[in-house]
Amino acid sequence: MTYDLAYAYPRLGWFDKVVTVLTWTCAVGIFATVGWMAIGPDDPRGAVSVSIGQVPAVIPQVAALAAAVAGIVTAVIGRKLPDAGTFAVAVGLAAANLQGSPSSYLLTHVVKPDAAARQGLCVSLAAEGLVWFVVIAVAAVVSGVVMRWCYGRPDAEGACADGRLASLAVADVPVLGEMVCGPRALADRLSPRIGMLHGGVTALVALFLIRVLAAGSPERTIQHGQVYFSLAAAFYLGTYVAHRAFPVRTPLWGCLAVPAVCIVGYVWTIMRAGGAGPYAQIASVPPTVFLRALPLEYISVGTAAVVASFWSRPHMHEHAKPKERASSR
């Protein structure tokens, strides 16, 4: 008995590639314009309203926009690329965030350069990371529902008629997975332990690479470019390594590792915020490299990198044990 842990995606022809790029470009344009129109009035400096004590009405508005974009993108190219809608929303949020200020704005203008103030800021940032991940979750759920409506019809045994439904992030969520994919056969279920190990490896590798790639001179100005590069590379490579060690069918576990890395990074910053050093009292210098990224940057760039890495993963197979082969002869 042999079965795929990764469904092979069809090669995208030139027309499919053009449609895919145009669709994602439109999603970026929507978030950079309409999305920023929602964010800007409440938070002219960027998506940091939660961090400064203002729980904004922008979150439901952005979630509704994410649902619409995810549904449209999935309907257009979801048959070729599962979770294309989730990817489009993540990239769109990252594009909208580029119009705001980096985390140096918070450090310089919102909090004092003392340990207590920075620790309080990190607590708020960790909570904000969870809030923004809800927007990604909404996009993932809508992607699954639209895929089910447009392309999937469970067969008589309850398995997915289109195997790509099983590659959606929501396919491994117990209740949502049954709504989208129908009940899976026992032999087709992946152990949650494997998924958690996959997510754990992704998080550990990402934390290490962020620490390496975002490091440098403490007084260096925080720029969106370096933050985006370090996060994208860390989560892309982390997901790739995790899939080599613990292959999974969906990017769910890698996506769950994104807010975990965000929270762990800010918790580590809380522990280091009271440290002494020549730059400890300089407002614009973060205590650790993990505070160089805003929660929306972690969530948007990290999720996009996880999904992109999942699409390019090697195709793994699980083979039957030798005893099973011998008995089948």
Q: How sure is the predictor about 328, in pLDDT bands with cuts at 50, 70 and 90?
A: very low
pLDDT of 192 above 90: no
Question: Is pLDDT above 70 for 81?
Answer: yes
DSSP 158-225: SS-SSGGGGGSGGGGSHHHHHHHH-PPPGGGPPPHHHHHHHHHHHHHHHHHHHHHHT-S-TTSPP-HH
The Cα 254–Cα 248 span in angstroms is 10
Whether pLDDT at 163 is above 80: no
Task: Using the CB atoms, write b or e for 250-275: b if 16+ within 10 Å.
Answer: bbbbbbbbbbbbbbbbbebbbebbee
**Confidence band for 186, pLDDT divided at 50, 70 and 90:** very low
Q: What percent of the chain stands above pLDDT 70?
A: 69
Q: Is 10 helix (H, G, I), strand (E, B) or coil?
A: coil
At residue 52, does pLDDT exceed 70?
no
User: What are the tens digits of pLDDT across the range 246-277?
Assistant: 988 889 999 999 999 999 999 998 887 765 54
**3-class SS of residue 312:** coil
Split at pLDDT 50, 70, 90, the class of 176 is: confident
Q: What pLDDT is attached to residue 4?
A: 47
β-sheet bridge partners, residue 4: 317
- The total of structural domains in the chain comes to 1
Q: Would you say 51 and 124 are in contact if contact means Cβ atoms under 8 Å apart? A: yes
Q: Are 204 and 227 in contact (CB under 8 A)?
A: no
The whole-chain average pLDDT of the chain stands at: 77
Q: Which residues span the domain enclosing 311?
A: 2-328
Q: How far is CA 91 from CA 84, 213, 320, in A?
A: 11, 21, 40
As a whole number of angstroms, the distance between CA 115 and CA 291 comes to 13
From the list 159, 4, 133, 9, the residue with the least C-alpha distance to 78 is: 9
The model's pTM is: 0.83
**What pLDDT sits at residue 56?**
55
Beta bridge partners of 319: 2
**Is residue 60 scored above 80 in pLDDT?**
yes
Beta strands in the chain (DSSP E): 2-4, 317-319
What angle, 0 to 180 degrees and rounded to 10, lies between the N-to-C axes of helices 58-77 and 84-97? 140
Is residue 227 within 8 A of residue 298, CB to CB? The reply is no
Q: Which of 17-31, 85-99, 209-223 has the lowest mean pLDDT?
A: 209-223
pLDDT at residue 298 tops 80 = yes
Mean pLDDT of 209-215: 86
Average pLDDT (282-297) is: 78
